[in-house]
Amino acid sequence: MTAPALTLSGLHKAFGPVQAVQDVTLTVQSGETVALLGPSGCGKSTVLRLVAGLDQPDSGAVQIGGQDMTALPPEARRVGLVFQDYALFPHLSVLDNVAYGPRVRGAPRAQAQRRAQEALALVELTGLEARRPAQLSGGQAQRAALARALATDAPLLLLDEPMSNLDERLRAELRASLRALFARVGAGVLLVTHDQREARALASRVAVMRAGQLIQTGPAEAVFTAPATAWVAAFMGEANLLPAGPGQVRHIPETALHLGAGEAWPAVAAPAGEGGTPVTVTHPLGPLHLTLSPREATLLEGGRLRLTVDDAQVRLLPDDREGA
């Protein structure tokens, strides 16, 4: 079996009193996209910087393609980097920006440009080779930065909030094309994001990070449908976490709420928003929050809503939301 694209073992990194990364252990296989997901300041970018060699860990090891790279400088690590601000060279054409990686690695000009053309074709920027970065839209600049990482043929790609500067429409567009692109290039991809939708759309596995530590790692769907703790569930946007005794909550996912059957509970609707009509139902388990589609909203009768809760989907989770 081939070595994983990336193996992190027991990484620690502190900045003065701040434990930015604590005991992070994670593997990314070749051809796999793993999302490092967590709120601002939890240490995601620091992990990427440790992988890229831009920072040194206090302890722990970074292996890339099965080789220990912990002590090596960034240029020896064979990783393709895409950071939030793209960092394209403003004075170089798009083609030269993308050919830069192969050139630095010693490829003759013609060969480097050929590789750059191929990478630009992959991100659908063919035809814009002669432009300067300032003449690109946000989405195009983002794709040029990606092409530059792809042109290095690195077995590991590191993406830090790669769509943070794009509007929602462009994000949705790029999400769809990126997933297909990653599958085609076969590299291991470590993607940093605080956006759970982005993680869900792009990654096969998700590692949830909080205050420097990984608190849940697993297949994306498993993490989203079965969060391990109340904090993870809340971070994923789960609204129904009801008190269930000391240190525990009852997690009722929206899929567990079956509308239009059972008892009619008192329900208070808020004005309809973009996602639908928010409703709070007074249920013996506690107040249940849900958002009704226009069709579901017709089930509201005289301030009441019929619903049943599918007990099989209800889980007790440890409540770890205080502190940290």
Q: Which residues of this protein are in contact with ligand ATP, per CB under 6 A?
A: 15, 18, 20, 38, 40-46, 194
Q: How far is the CB of 74 from ligand ATP (least distance, A)?
A: 16
Of 42 and 149, nearer to ligand ATP (C-beta) is 42
Q: How far is the CB of 279 from ligand ATP (least distance, A)?
A: 32
Do the bridges between strand 248-251 and strand 241-243 make them parallel or antiparallel, or are there none, so unpaired? antiparallel
Q: How far is the CB of 36 from ligand ATP (least distance, A)?
A: 8
Q: How far is the CB of 13 from ligand ATP (least distance, A)?
A: 8
Q: How far is the CB of 194 from ligand ATP (least distance, A)?
A: 5
Q: How far is the CB of 182 from ligand ATP (least distance, A)?
A: 21
Of 18 and 76, nearer to ligand ATP (C-beta) is 18
Of 15 and 89, nearer to ligand ATP (C-beta) is 15
Q: Which of 82, 3, 8 is nearest to 51 (CA)?
A: 8
Of 24 and 305, nearer to ligand ATP (C-beta) is 24
Burial 236-252 (b: 16+ CB within 10 A, else e): bebbbbeebeeeebbbb
Burial of 164 (0-12, 13-18, 19+ CB in 10 A): middle
Sign of CA dihedral 133, 78, 38, 213: negative
Q: How far is the CB of 268 from ligand ATP (least distance, A)?
A: 35
Of 41 and 243, nearer to ligand ATP (C-beta) is 41
Q: Which of 122, 164, 172 is nearest to 142 (CA)?
A: 164
Of 34 and 252, nearer to ligand ATP (C-beta) is 34
Of 37 and 174, nearer to ligand ATP (C-beta) is 37
- E runs forming strands in the chain: 6-15, 18-28, 33-37, 59-64, 67-68, 79-82, 156-160, 188-193, 205-210, 213-219, 241-243, 248-251, 257-269, 277-283, 286-292, 304-309, 315-318
